[in-house]
Structure 1
Amino acid sequence: MSEAHSLTRKPWFFGLLIFVILASSLLISRALMNSAPVAQRKPPERVARLVAASPVLAASERVQILAHGAVEAAQRSVLAARVSGEVVEISDAFVPGNRVAAGTTLLRLDPADYELALVEAQASLATARASLAQEQGNQAVARADADILNLEVSEDERRLMLREPQLSSARANVKLAETALQRARLNLERTRVLAPFDGLVLSRDVALGSQVAANGGVLGELAAAAPYWVVLRVPIDALRWIEWPDQDGQSGSAVELRDAGDRNSPSWQGRVIQLLDALETEGRRAGVLVEISQPDAGERPLLLDTYVQATIHGRELVDALRLENTWVHDGKVWVVADGRLQSRQIEAAYRASDHVLVTKGLTAGEHIVTSVPSGFVDGMRVRIQGRDDKPARQEGKPRAAESAERRP
């Protein structure tokens, strides 16, 4: 009976034993976890972004204004005959493209009729002079007769007695004959068509045997060899930077010209001489007249009708900062100051197609960011490429600490 009683008490004993063992294990595990070292992560390290930046330097720089235009001759002359006749001679120099000196005979008309007219004019003058001499003799005889008669007559009657009207008529006939002779000589000279100035033959519109009318058909066209002109169209707000010639002898702004269609074009030098008094219809730009006094200077001559790119060297800006247009965004630039980005508003004194001249908003020596990647914000810490290539680290926000219990 005792054995049965002991068997009924064994399950309670085993249950209690298991409970004690589990409780002891739990206490031991918690004690180990509390006594284990706690590992904390270090704050993450961030590297300042690398940017390309360039220091800006102050210097005196002339404003450069870019413009385009076509070359034209300062003088063009359409040749026409002053007398009529047949073309009997054409000079070898009278060929399109040739350069001719002033006074060169370009062509000659048949002079026969004009030579005969000259002989007739000479004969008429001789006759008129003989008639004048005869009338002067008649007046001398009349004056002697009047002195012998000593008649009391009016002034008009005396003039008639002394043949003064006849003498005046004879003198007038001599002048008419002299004028006719001079005209005959001019007409004979005009049978030779001469170059009016040193120039370039643009065209010839006659041939041997052509019949030419006085002041009628065009014989050809000549352009002055120098100077050449170019009309440049510039924005109105650029006019204040251009220097204009004045009465004191100051010359206009220097201009450098190149053939816009030739990358290897030589340059030609010109000067601003005049502001045109009308704006162009389209674009509302002003016209600036430039003179090239020596179009033949340089590696090759400047040709008429060449479309040129011109650089006008305008007034000088003192202590100006030159920035590339790509550095400027909406009138602002990025500046690196004390290792951080700053957005800076600038004031441009002059804007060109590829650069800006700044006089306010920046200081010489400051570093301007030349390439701004996306994601840049004001105050961001950055490094300058080529100067701060060694990474500069800054602390970021720490993440949540993690702990782990290690078993001994």
Structure 2
Amino acid sequence: MKRILALLMPVIVLAVLVAGGFFLMQMLKPQPEKAEEQARGLSVFAEAAELTDLELTVSAQGEVQPQRQIIVAPQISGRISFVSPDFIDGGFIREGQVLVRLEAEDYRLAIVRAQSGVASAEQRLAREEAEAELAIQDLEELGITNTSPLARREPQLAEARASLDSAKAQLADAQLALNRTAVTAPFSGRVRERNADLGQFVSPGQALGTIFATDVVEVSLPLSDEEMGRVGLPLAFAETKSTQGPDVIFKANVAGQPRQWNGRIVRTSAAISPQTRLITAIAELRDPYGTGSDNGVPMAPGLFVNAEVEGEQVQNVVRVPRSALRGVDEIYIGDGPAGKLEIREVELVFSDETGAYVSSGIEPGELAIVSPIQAAFDGMNIQVVERMPDGELISRTPRKIDAEPESADGAALASGDVEGASQ
């Protein structure tokens, strides 16, 4: 037994020494510093606000209409004996050009009869004048001074003169009817449609076709009161040499190609539409088939066009993405270094697909949050990732450790945030 104890004693002592040394080393080992990572906020995308000048525009739609369009109709009856080859659907016509001519024989005969009536009336007037002179001489020779107009043949003379005037009027009427056998174009333009042809008998006022002038076309643009103010138009506007209306750009697809034409608003309606409560602005394009065309493509009547009306210019406004606008007048601002969200009220000037333009409430360079956020509040923890114009994503909120991050670790965490945002 003593021999066994003598053999185990060194092993037991060695084990006790090793255990005691290990325990002592653990007791004397310095405690590691604990690095507590702050709670990470919601990652959001943001874009920088920029200072710019805003040119207000108003978009509207309307149908192109000719300024002058008439129905061609004869003033007399007759059979059509001639139709101009230009008087066809889509034909070009000139001012004063004969479009349709009616048979004129009956009207020439009427002129002959009227000329005969004039000759008879002239002969009767001459006879009455001679008889009136003889009657006055006879009365003077007899010494009769107190005579009646009938004795001096004055009523007979007046009747003869009236008969001559009537005969001349009938001659002028016959001549006018003969002239009206030729139906002419009152202006240069194009034929929209033709409803008559050679040999057809027509009556006064019967429609022979429709023509329109090609010097000016118009587009009626319905605008709201707010849009009228945006382009600087009063209710009863009429363009003058000193006061011109705003420019308008018309756009439409013609034959599968986008086309545009440049016109101008020349007047507005005098009253507000009771049905739509809108005001009609009349935009005008001159010479749509010539100098006003787009490389020879006219803005033809009947074409439905989109119109952009140029409005007033606003200097020094701040533009943010349209998605950054919350409700009517709120924007979420992301403080990148602090990782905090701020809710601000702004004064909105204008908003369209290009962005929201505000005059106050945000400064150029500040980050406007574009990500959707539910239950947002001031001071909310966020991770701001700025989206650059070229699409690059840059984290603006480094992850903090003990509120004093090292630059290397912070840069690495920022890089990790960007990768996560990109995913």
Q: Which residue of 1 aligns with 2:371?
A: 372
Aligned pairs for 1:19-34 (under 5 A) are 30-34=23-27
Decide which of 169, 172, 179 is 2:162's aligned counterpart: 172
Whether 1:148 aligns to 2:146 is no
Decide which of 381, 384, 388 is 1:382's aligned counterpart: 384
- One-letter amino acid of the counterpart of residue 382, structure 1: V
Native 8 Å contact 2:136 2:152 kept in 1: yes
Aligned pairs for 1:1-400 (under 5 A) are 30-44=23-37, 51=45, 53-59=47-53, 61-153=54-146, 157-215=147-205, 217-242=206-231, 243=233, 244-245=237-238, 249-259=242-252, 264-276=257-269, 277-279=271-273, 281=275, 284-296=277-289, 297-298=292-293, 299=295, 300-330=297-327, 331-336=329-334, 339-340=337-338, 341-352=341-352, 354-363=354-363, 365-369=364-368, 371-372=370-371, 378=380, 380=382, 382=384, 384=386, 389=394, 393-396=398-401
CA offsets, 1:70-117, max 9 Å, x none? 111112211111111101110001011012111110011100000000
- The count of residues paired between Structure 1 and Structure 2 equals 384
> Which structure's relative contact order is higher, taking Cα pairs within 8 Å and 6+ residues apart?
1
Secondary structure of the corresponding residue to residue 72 of structure 1:
strand
Deviation at 1:293, TM superposition (A): 2.0
Native 8 Å contact 1:64 1:314 kept in 2: yes
What is the distance in 2 between the residues matched to 1:360 and 1:210? 74
Secondary structure of the corresponding residue to residue 115 of structure 2:
helix
Cα 1:308–1:357 shift into 2, 3 Å: same
What is the distance in 2 between the residues matched to 1:323 and 1:295? 39
Structure 1 length as normaliser, TM-score? Answer: 0.81
Structure 2 length as normaliser, TM-score? Answer: 0.78
- Structure 2 runs not aligned, ≥5 long: 2-10, 404-423
Greater alpha carbon shift after TM alignment, 271-280 vs 367-376 = 367-376
Cα 1:361–1:245 shift into 2, 3 Å: farther
Native 8 Å contact 2:44 2:371 kept in 1: no
Larger-gyration structure (1/2):
1
Cα 1:248–1:90 shift into 2, 3 Å: closer
The percentage of aligned residue pairs carrying the same residue is: 22
Cα 1:101–1:65 shift into 2, 3 Å: same
Deviation at 1:338, TM superposition (A): 6.7
- One-letter amino acid of the counterpart of residue 400, structure 2: E
Native 8 Å contact 1:62 1:317 kept in 2: yes
Deviation at 1:219, TM superposition (A): 0.7
What is the distance in 1 between the residues matched to 2:15 and 2:355? 83
- Structure 1 runs not aligned, ≥5 long: 1-6, 8-17, 399-408
Greater alpha carbon shift after TM alignment, 375-384 vs 201-210 = 375-384
- One-letter amino acid of the counterpart of residue 214, structure 2: A
Native 8 Å contact 2:115 2:171 kept in 1: yes
Cα 1:343–1:209 shift into 2, 3 Å: same
Native 8 Å contact 2:249 2:307 kept in 1: yes
Native 8 Å contact 2:252 2:306 kept in 1: yes
What is the distance in 2 between the residues matched to 1:388 and 1:47? 18
Give RMSD over aligned pairs.
3.8
What is the distance in 2 between the residues matched to 1:94 and 1:388? 66
What is the distance in 2 between the residues matched to 1:224 and 1:383? 60
